[in-house]
Each structure stands twice: as C-alpha cells, then as structure tokens.
Amino acid sequence: MGIFEKLSALEEEHRRLEAELSRPDVASDPAEFRRISRRYAELGEVMEAFQAYKKVLSELEGAKEMLSDPELGELAQSEVEALESKREALEARLKKLLLPRDPSDDRNAIVEIRAGTGGEEAALFARDLFEMYRRYAERLGYRLEVMDSHPTDLGGFSKIAFRLEGPGAYGVFKYESGVHRVQRVPETETQGRIHTSTATVAVLPEAEPEDLEIKPDEIRIDVMRASGPGGQGVNTTDSAVRVVHLPTGIIVTCQDSRSQIKNRERALTILRSRLLEMKRAEEEKKLREARLAQIGTGERSEKIRTYNFPQSRVTDHRIHYTTRNLEAVLSGELEALHAALREAEQERMLAVMAEGA
C-alpha cells in the first residue's frame, strides 16, 4: 500500500472516530471514550499534514498543465519546482508521522527522581532536576502534582515522585528516564573541588484502573506518621501510607498529603504504573528481535546526560547532542533537546525500515 492509500485509510478512520465520539453509548463509557479520544487526537496531526499534502498535489497538477503555455510556461516551471520541494518535505513529514507509535505516549506521566551517588550533593541535584521539570511542565501547560517527597536537611530530595497531567505527557517526558550526571563544585565543598554526582529518573505512563487489576490479597497497606528532614514530624496524624505489593515486593510510600485516603490513592496509582511498566518491559523483551531500534528511553542504569557547570555544558550521550546553555536547560527550556531526541529516533526507525524493505 502506497503512502496516499495509507493516509486515505487513516482519513476514513478519523471520520469514523469523530462520529463515534458523539454517540451516547461511547460518551457514557469513560474507558472507551478515553481510548477513542486518544486515537482521534493521535490522527489529528497526521490529517492536518495530509490535507496540506493533498492541496500541494492539486496545485502541482494545475501548475504542470500550464507548462505548455507559451506565455506562462516559465512562471509555471518556477511554481512546479517550488511545489515539488513542498511535496517532498510533506512526504518526509508524513513518513515520520506514520511511524509506529508507542500507544502510551498520550498518557499522563508518573516521574520518580532518586538521589544517586554523591550524598547530599546528589540530593541537591535531584532537587534541581525536579525544578527543571516543573518549569518545563509549566511551559507546556501541564499540571504537576507532587505525590511523594523525601526532603533532606539542606533542601534536596532523596526521592520525589510527581504526576504530570496533560496531552502526551508521557511521550514528552519518557526521554528523561535514566541516569543524570552533574559535574560541579557542591554547596558543601569548601576547597572548590569539582565533584561528580548522579540522580536517577524513571518516567512511567500513568496506569488506569482498567489496565490491570490489583487484588486486595496481593497488597499490604501500612499507615504511619509522616516525617521530614532529621526525623521531625511533618504532622501529628497517621496520614503517611506504605503499600507493599506482595507478589513482586514493590514498595510505594506516599506522605505529602495530610489525608490518608489521598496518600493511599496516590500510592496505588504509582504502584499500578510500576506494574504496568513491568508488564510492558516483559512484552518488549519477548518482541525485542522484531522491534525497530530505538533511542534508550527507559533503562535506569543508562547514563543519558551530563550537566557540566564549569563549562556551562549539557550533553545528551544517546545522540551526542551538546548545548552550552546550561542555565536555560535547568530553567526548563528542554524543547530543542527533546526535538533532537525525537528526530534521531525517527531517523533511526526510518533507516531500519529501509533496510528491511
């Protein structure tokens, strides 16, 4: 099937989904409505590019018909060349838009940042990463909700987990999964020596209740009193919640809300998302030989990026991308970096497809 035929089929699907969204039985089924809405939104960008492509093809056909005109032939030739260039650019864009997508890309995201090697400096770096993501989320119009945090005495975080709500949040932030490394003179350093510290970021697609069932006999829920730096009580009620998933041993704690019920909901959301990611990882492992090569987006052990303060440099090691504007990156200006990561992933996928053709 050629590209035009594929796009025509998707156009028909887009129309069908639009009609389904207005049906009362779909509107009354939240899970089905979400599923259809996601697919409809996913096809929106493709349809926009397809409409532009069809317009260019129509204009190109008209310009070619004028080539034989003695008076307008030269002008028509110039127009044909310009339209051919537009057509090629739109075809290249459409090929990328038609690449297989991760169905989880449109979900909300759960992000967990943990201090790695480097003691208190690593915790301060974890705080800096959180602030970077908070500002980036604000730029994109996403809603950020802190679900659990464990602050340290100097204002860092040994661990912080938060939820990002907005269209395509997981698809945007998934590139942040991995080990982040910082090279700088720590606030705790008195002799001006540069230290290297790390923090680990895990980005999970938010799981929904219908994605998987957590049976009551598979979990143990403990309640306790929340605590802050140095063991100081954050509140005087048993509002902190710890959920243990007995089959896997996964432990999730939440203490940021003063409501035990709210902390329980947050803990179960994180647990469900971790279990969904484990399920996805197992399925991907089975299909790895058949899958297209991708840029690393989820290996916690993978060192993905270095933030070098003395050189004001940020380097993403996966695509050898470097910028000398460290301050802007830490201020949440991640658009250019993420665009480069997406472009590299798409180019790699296209190359693999070409080899297999």
| pTM recorded for the entire structure | 0.74
**What is the spatial distance between Cα 194 and Cα 213, in angstroms, rounded to a whole number?**
48
Which one of 67, 97, 127 terminates a domain?
A: 97
User: Do 38 and 179 fall within a single domain?
Assistant: no
Residue 354, in any domain of the structure: no
Q: What is the pLDDT along the chain (357 residues), one digit of tens a residue?
A: 577 788 888 899 999 999 999 999 988 988 888 888 878 888 888 999 999 999 999 999 988 988 888 878 788 899 999 999 999 999 988 988 888 888 788 899 999 999 999 999 999 999 999 999 999 999 999 999 999 999 999 899 999 999 999 988 999 999 999 999 999 998 767 677 899 999 999 999 998 777 778 888 889 998 887 766 544 444 555 788 999 999 999 999 898 888 888 898 899 999 999 898 888 777 666 654 443 444 444 344 568 999 999 999 999 999 999 999 999 999 999 999 999 999 999 888 888 777 765
User: Do 170 and 314 fall within a single domain?
Assistant: yes
**What is the spatial distance between Cα 279 and Cα 290, in angstroms, rounded to a whole number?**
18
Residue 104, in any domain of the structure: no
Q: What is the DSSP string of 166-178?
A: STTHHHHHGGG-E
Residue 34, in any domain of the structure: yes
Instruction: Please report the pLDDT score of residue 292 as a whole number.
Output: 40
User: Do 134 and 224 fall within a single domain?
Assistant: yes
User: Do 87 and 142 fall within a single domain?
Assistant: no
User: Do 232 and 316 fall within a single domain?
Assistant: yes
**Contact status, residue 117 vs residue 310, Cβ threshold 8 Å:** no
User: Do 156 and 241 fall within a single domain?
Assistant: yes
Binning the chain into helix, strand and coil, the percentages to the nearest 5 are 50, 20, 30
Q: Provide the domain limits for residue 156.
A: 109-288+296-346
3-21 vs 73-97: helix crossing angle, rounded to 10? 60
**What is the spatial distance between Cα 104 and Cα 102, in angstroms, rounded to a whole number?**
5
Q: β-strands 321-323, 195-205: how paired?
A: unpaired
- For 29, the 3-state DSSP assignment is coil
